[in-house]
Amino acid sequence: MVFCFSIALCVIVLSFFASDRMKSVLLSREDYFYILPDQNDSVVNANSDCKLSSFFSSPSLRSFEDWVAAPKDLWHSMSDEELMWRASMAPNVAEYPYNRTPKVAFMFLARGRLPLGPLWERFFKGHDPRLYSIYLHCSPEFTDEPTESSVFYKRKIPSKVVEWGKASMIDAERRLLANALLDFSNERFVLLSETCIPLFGFLTIYNYLISSKYSFISSFDDPRPIGRGRYNKRMWPTLSISDWRKGSQWFETQRKIAIDLISDRKYYPVFLNHCKPPCYMDEHYMATLVNKQNPEMNSNTSVTWVDWTTGGSHPKTFLRKDISETFLNRIRYDSVNCSYNGNSSSSYCFLFARKFHPSTLEPLLRITPRLFNETSLQ
């Protein structure tokens, strides 16, 4: 009898801990979801930021907008596992029961300060903030914060160390996607580096992405040693060599695919265990995953231009002396085989370009007023 009582007591105590842990996952930030008190509970902690009384007496808790509003603060204490679980939640009803303006999430993967930040400030300046969101994944030791007037103010997400060519690169990309998915208004998601520049004005890029039927994740079958040669037979039977794809790390995608990417628990462990240098996850994971899960929703191309003509493991880096209006227009308009929504007559293929050295900022700022002239691109 004493033994049974002890067991029951342990179960009750453990249930309290489990309950508190789950509550910390679901309610770790009041900015995301409100805490619903018991219907008969009218007592509220006086120190609570929400100043809740009861579910039935607080009008704010009955407002649907409160449940779909974007997080007020990007900083949170969730683990990656908790974040992915929470971000993977998606309504089964396709139509939104409110006036939803779709946004483009601009996700920057950087080591620290954005050296081309002033160019991006100009890109966003004057445009409706309801049309875009910004997310920064930086090294954890980088704690500098821009001024309140900056579009990058308080846009850093909880981040971890990223190493080139390692799984931590994919972890950072998924972390950015998951944080952006917490905002129900984000419909398109573009991954950018600290060396990326926009090739057109904001409205041109926004309309191009929002109106697209397809995502822009580079994915192709490369028969060379740097393509199929990186496939590991130990990936079978989860992945066959016919599934294997290569592509650019810098992608753009729509919400459905973004949810599938951060929800993946089947293919990620296979890559983690069997894609080691000279196999690089950032060149194969996204490309292979979208080929397996959503091939009909992907264009198999990237909207970020790079120059690989110099050879080696990294594309060419452009310096101050390289920048001219002629050079940028060549990137913008001289591409071939452009396709958009099944139409092969698109006037341009690329919306962004990389890699641009910090020394290019001054000439870029001088040229972009003409390049960002929206009326010339309609």
pLDDT digits (tens, 9 = 90+) for 95-151: 888 889 999 999 999 999 999 999 999 999 999 999 999 999 999 999 999 999 999
Cα separation, 173 vs 367, whole angstroms: 31
Which is it for the CA torsion 321, 202, 355, 308, positive or negative? negative
Cα separation, 220 vs 151, whole angstroms: 35
Amino acid at the residue 123: F
pLDDT value, residue 4: 52
Q: pLDDT confidence of 8, banded at 50, 70, 90? A: low
**Residues 6 or more apart whose Cβ sits within 8 Å of residue 154:** 73, 74, 75, 145
pLDDT at residue 17 is higher than 80: no
CA atoms within 13 A on the CB side of 73: 8
* Beta-strand relationship, 252-254 and 186-193: antiparallel
Q: Omega before 223 cis (within 30°)? A: no
pLDDT at residue 25 is higher than 50: no
pLDDT at residue 41 is higher than 50: no
Cα separation, 220 vs 375, whole angstroms: 35
| Other residues' Cβ atoms within 10 Å of the Cβ of residue 103 | 23
CB 84, CB 174: distance < 8 Å:
yes
Residue 353 β-bridge partners: 197, 305
Could you give the percent of the chain with pLDDT greater than 90?
68
Q: How many helices (H) and strands (E) does the chain have?
A: 12, 7
| Other residues' Cβ atoms within 10 Å of the Cβ of residue 4 | 8
DSSP letter at 275 equals -
Q: What is the token pair recorded at 153?
A: 């103010």
Could you give the percent of the chain with pLDDT greater than 70?
81
- Residue 62, classified by CB atoms within 10 Å of its CB into exposed (0-12), middle (13-18) or buried (19+), is exposed
pLDDT at residue 26 is higher than 70: no
pLDDT at residue 183 is higher than 50: yes
